[in-house]
Structure 1
Amino acid sequence: MAAESALYTILTEKINQEALVLPTLPEVAFKVRQAADDPDVNLHYMSDIIAQDPALSLGLIKVANSVLLGRTVKVESVSQAVTRIGLRQIKGIATAMALEQVFVSKNDVVASYMKKSWEKTVDIASVSISLMGAYLEKNKHTALNLDTLTLGSLIHNIGVLPILTEAEQYPDTFANPTFLQQAITKLSGKIGGEVTRAWGFSDELTELAESWGDLTILPTEIHYLDFIRAGAIYHNIFKNKATQEALLNSYVKKGILPDIDFMDTEGFKARCSDVRSMFI
């Protein structure tokens, strides 16, 4: 379609000219990340930063009380939540919890699409996080860690935002789900890399945003990509059944899945629901 082609052309040109408007990291997430990089930061100061944002405060209390941390004694304050999560993990988890703030728009069509994009991201992240949690219970000495996967799974599709922002500027022409989806499919990975680099994220996280949908990239060793793609399979993002089966079989061989039907068990589904409740 002409409109789809026009949107694709505009986005491609802006990427090439480094003129694409990228979303800004929520201010509270920026402050948390800046403080976490300070070797002299303490739990009290970090708690004060987080307490300035009610939504983030509530989110971190949810995380601290979640199945992820496996604690039975509930925390009720930000300082208790920060203490339980720890300064090493708080940087990634606080960033992840704040990300919903960037999925907003004044255009009804674009706002609806952003809301659906965030919910889809959380759906995939919930599976990814739950699967890694189960994996870590049996593989305690792996180099992979849950806080990196948590943030990685929530920014894996962050490249949709500049596309939707561009569509918002020309609502009569581009704010149509039919060709928004086409532009997202073609460009979101590359744009996601631009966003994560602009936010100062690690190369590891940038790789997840750029590569999760590129199935020509198949790590031989266990990788964060595997967990995100397992979430995408669970939610039928990869439509080809042969591709789904091949990936699932590879995850069984790697030891990520105990068996190919593991994600269909009631116990795993309940775990995903618990994780999802932290974000939605």
Structure 2
Amino acid sequence: MGTENALYTILVEKINQDALVLPTLPEVALKVRQAADDPEVNLNKMSDIIAQDPALSLGMLKVANSAVLGRSVKVETVNQAVTRIGLRQIKSIATAMALEQVFVSENEIVASYLKKSWAKTIDISSVAIALMTLYVQKHKHTSMTLDVLTLAALVHNIGVLPILTEAEKHADVFANPTFLQQAIIKLSSKIGAEVTKKWGFSEEFTAVVENWSDLTVLPKEVHYLDFIRAGAIYHDIFKNASTKEVLLKNYVAKEILPDENYMQTPEFLDLVTDIKTMFS
């Protein structure tokens, strides 16, 4: 317990002094975000930027051909993918696709934890995206969008990165799964909010990262938090049975779920599986 407290103390002190090393966005994500904010950019210029990164190019093709966009005709080029996705959505989707690049480490224990953390993020995100896909189909006038939800879901647990980076610097003391887990539970939301601010994300994203695990924050209207929390419920992140029951009833009332057992139906599970292929 003393080691856990020591790591916690170091992290808090560095946060207070603005000395905590926060992860940077992958270069290709920065280029895409900057281009998307340029009023002079067009689809061809954006395609050229994305085509420079093979992994991102493949990711864009998967998104363009995914169940989320619901198109039967497959696209085969980056330009076709960007055209189908659209410039408005490309900023969030490209950032989301590039995020896996920051979940890396040379320390075996830390690398293992990062890999598990990213896998869990994908699991939760896939459920959240599936629910949002169905919600948008039924509520066509909603101001909420799939591209924002996708990015929000993929960054909701981004606070684990600085914690694990700090642990890696002192691997002989802190690179222990028990200590890391406790530090992540206590600090990841606060640190994650700082990461999104550094990356220049909107307050909307910061609020999701900071509050997704704080169940005292319960939006009255349908919110991105609801979809991410539904994914967390599905993957048993929230352990309290009565809490899960209350949340599920709330999501039925908000028309996010048709009924409390909907996430166990074959049709929903098939959709989640299809969406998950975007990230594999």
* TM-score, L = length of structure 2: 0.99
Q: What corresponds to 1:3 in structure 2? A: 3
Over residues 179-231 of structure 1, what are the superposed CA-to-partner deviations in whole Å (9 max), with x where a residue is unaligned?
Answer: 10100000000000000000000100111111100111000110000000000
AA partner of residue 179 (structure 2) = F
Q: 1:143-162 alignment to 2 at 5 Å? A: 143-162=143-162
Shift in Å, 1:239: 0.5
Partners in 1 of 2:250 and 2:53 — Cα distance? 42
Question: Unaligned regions of 5+ residues in structure 2, if any?
Answer: none
AA partner of residue 251 (structure 1) = Y
Q: What corresponds to 1:62 in structure 2? A: 62
Q: 1:163-202 alignment to 2 at 5 Å? A: 163-202=163-202
What SS does structure 2 have at the residue aligned with 1:272? helix
Partners in 2 of 1:267 and 1:15 — Cα distance? 45
Q: What corresponds to 2:224 in structure 1? A: 224
Question: Unaligned regions of 5+ residues in structure 1, if any?
Answer: none
Over residues 23-71 of structure 1, what are the superposed CA-to-partner deviations in whole Å (9 max), with x where a residue is unaligned?
Answer: 0000000000000000110000000000010000000000000000000
Partners in 1 of 2:20 and 2:214 — Cα distance? 22
Partners in 1 of 2:47 and 2:110 — Cα distance? 34
Q: What corresponds to 2:279 in structure 1? A: 279
Partners in 2 of 1:50 and 1:70 — Cα distance? 22
Q: Does 1:130 align with 2:137?
A: no
What SS does structure 1 have at the residue aligned with 2:242? helix
What SS does structure 2 have at the residue aligned with 1:179? helix
* TM-score, L = length of structure 1: 0.99
Q: 1:77-156 alignment to 2 at 5 Å? A: 77-156=77-156
Q: 1:7-86 alignment to 2 at 5 Å? A: 7-86=7-86
Shift in Å, 1:143: 1.1
AA partner of residue 50 (structure 2) = I
- The runs of at least 4 consecutive aligned structure 1 residues that moved more than 2 Å come to none
What SS does structure 1 have at the residue aligned with 2:104? coil
AA partner of residue 245 (structure 2) = E
Shift in Å, 1:172: 0.8
AA partner of residue 34 (structure 2) = Q
Shift in Å, 1:137: 1.1
Over residues 83-136 of structure 1, what are the superposed CA-to-partner deviations in whole Å (9 max), with x where a residue is unaligned?
Answer: 000000000000000000000000000000000000000000000000000111
AA partner of residue 218 (structure 2) = L
**Aligned-pair Cα RMSD in Å:** 0.5
Partners in 1 of 2:159 and 2:251 — Cα distance? 26
Partners in 2 of 1:243 and 1:52 — Cα distance? 46
What SS does structure 1 have at the residue aligned with 2:259? coil
What SS does structure 2 have at the residue aligned with 1:277? helix
AA partner of residue 53 (structure 1) = D
AA partner of residue 171 (structure 2) = P
What SS does structure 2 have at the residue aligned with 1:66? coil
Identity fraction in percent: 71
Q: Does 1:256 align with 2:256?
A: yes
Aligned length in residues? 280
Q: 1:233-272 alignment to 2 at 5 Å? A: 233-272=233-272
